[in-house]
Amino acid sequence: MIKPDPSLEPNWDEDNIDHIAHHGLQANEVEEVYYGEGPYPTLAIKNKKSKGRMTEYRYRLWGTDASGTFIEAIVAPYPEYGLWRCVTAFPMSPSTQKAYLRRIKK
């Protein structure tokens, strides 16, 4: 487990805002998970995604927004630009929520 880099700024545009809106979420909720502003800690798992010769790292985040909503998000960090971008985000499934709570022992 790692922690997302708090020095990176979010990169939002109409596409990723609309995408997460289809899952019933808003940008500020995902930001609260990324920066660990919820009542439970944010867990991050680093995954490597390869496209030919290109390699990109993405993080699967499990956490809660400030209101306590359990959210799972996939973000791509771009430290060379000082940014992170939300690829997708959605409410946690009950089974994922159970695994998350077991990992943080709540």
Which pLDDT tens digit goes with each residue over 4-18? Answer: 899 999 999 999 999
Tell me the average pLDDT across 53-60.
86
Dihedral sign from CA coordinates of 52, 83, 1, 89: negative
Contacts of 90 (CB under 8 A, 6+ apart): 20, 23, 24, 25, 71, 72, 73
CB atoms within 10 A of CB 22: 9
Tell me the average pLDDT across 98-102.
95
Tell me the average pLDDT across 63-72.
97
pLDDT tens-digit map of 79-95? 999 999 999 999 999 99
Tell me the average pLDDT across 90-106.
93
pLDDT recorded at residue 106: 62
DSSP E strand stretches across the chain: 9-10, 43-51, 54-64, 70-78, 83-91
Q: What percent of the chain has pLDDT over 70?
A: 98
Domain ranges of the chain: 9-104
pLDDT recorded at residue 95: 97
Residue 57 and residue 68: Cα distance in Å, rounded? 27
